[in-house]
Structure 1
Amino acid sequence: MAVQLDAIRSTAQRVAASHDLDVVDLEFQGGVKFRTLRIYIEKNAVERAKLAEAAATGEVEDLPKGVPAELLSGVTHEDCAKFAQDIGTVLDVEDLIPGAEYTLEVSSPGLERKLSKAEDYTRFLGSLVKLQTFTTVNNNRHWQGRLTKFADGVLTLDLTAVKQKGKAKKAVTEQTVEIALLNVEKANLVAEI
């Protein structure tokens, strides 16, 4: 009873597109009895552009102050509910998750969203990022700073943007650090509110 994540991801993206949404990430966890499928969604690029324009002109009042519109996914509870109902039906009809039971969770990726694709690093240039590397860079694996550049598979962090902690505090002899994307084990945005 193996779960085919690629088929689930493809199906989820197809259903999301019909709601003007994109699938940001997908996780499947658990054993035989307690299985959970988590799908993170956001408005597609066209809808995010509309949200950014509305935020710039002051048409949208309930956006958090000081948060760039690009960091917001624009997803509402209604979007999650509609998508969850549709994807749940399709998953069950196509039997993409074999076995009797699983829990489906649908949400936005949040302000401290995970960064996993090269496109994420390009999209969120200028944002605060926290990351961990597979191998040490300047005797450290944990870094936090402002993403100032991403080119040729290498990202540059401005370390002066935040106060460094732990080993990073001692390791910081320069104001920036360059890290190969292939060396990034995990990374996420850091909310600036």
Structure 2
Amino acid sequence: MSTTQSERLRGLLEPLVAAKDLDLEEIDLSRAGRRGVLRVVVDSEEGVELDTCAELSRAISEKLDESDVMGEDEYVLEVSSPGADRPLSEHRHYVRAIGRLARLTLNDGGELVARILEVDDEGLGVEVPGVKGRKPTARRVAFQEIAKARVELEFNRKDKKEEEA
């Protein structure tokens, strides 16, 4: 996708996304055969419900039909949330992942799987799970040390609602 088209799409879509109290995380335009595929990824502090994605998809579709930003070619529009194992690349992503287990790939080549406990402007406070009966250990990781980060899927993780009950 050209920079100009990307900027035009972002300018067109951001107000629609913001009107739903969501963050525009990603816009990706690719080809699938003769058609284009426009993927719009949105998120919020509380996550995104399927009904909200459907409403936003209708609003985006109407706005795109009114404009010439997609040209005359056929395209498929997909509006979704980032998914459970989302990459963490922005400060707000880390804040939303507090309490979650994350896989951090460090700039020195190391890797760390730890639960994010706190986030500030400089980095993360994490808890590294204990292995073979050892207690978990606290650790500080600066953002500048992190090359990549991704939320890990946990199938036996207690939901916040369960913990409060």
The reply to whether TM is greater than 0.5 is: yes
Q: Residue 81 of structure 1 aligns to a residue in which SS?
A: helix
CA distance in 2, matches of 1:185, 1:99: 40
Q: 2:116 aligns with which of 147, 160, 166?
A: 147
CA distance in 2, matches of 1:40, 1:26: 5
CA distance in 2, matches of 1:152, 1:99: 45
Q: Using CA pairs under 8 Å that are at least 6 residues apart, name the structure with larger relative contact order, 1 or 2.
A: 1
Query: How many residues were matched structurally?
Result: 149
Aligned to 2:104: 131
Q: Which runs of 5+ in 2 are unaligned?
A: 156-165
CA distance in 1, matches of 2:138, 2:7: 37
Cα distance change on mapping 1:150 and 1:17 into 2, 3 Å: closer
Q: Residue 187 of structure 1 aligns to a residue in which SS?
A: strand
Q: Does 1:89 align with 2:62?
A: yes
Q: Which runs of 5+ in 1 are unaligned?
A: 49-72, 164-173
Aligned to 2:90: 117
Cα displacement (A) at 1:124: 2.6
Cα distance change on mapping 1:185 and 1:99 into 2, 3 Å: farther
Percent same amino acid among aligned pairs?
24
Cα distance change on mapping 1:17 and 1:30 into 2, 3 Å: closer
Cα distance change on mapping 1:80 and 1:99 into 2, 3 Å: same
Q: TM-score, normalised by structure 1?
A: 0.61
Q: TM-score, normalised by structure 2?
A: 0.69
Aligned to 1:106: 79
Q: 1:180 aligns with which of 138, 142, 156?
A: 142
Q: 1:75 aligns with which of 49, 58, 75?
A: 49
CA distance in 2, matches of 1:143, 1:23: 28
Contact kept, 8 Å, 1:148 with 1:156, in 2: the verdict is: yes
Cα displacement (A) at 1:145: 0.8
Cα distance change on mapping 1:160 and 1:108 into 2, 3 Å: same
CA distance in 1, matches of 2:142, 2:70: 36
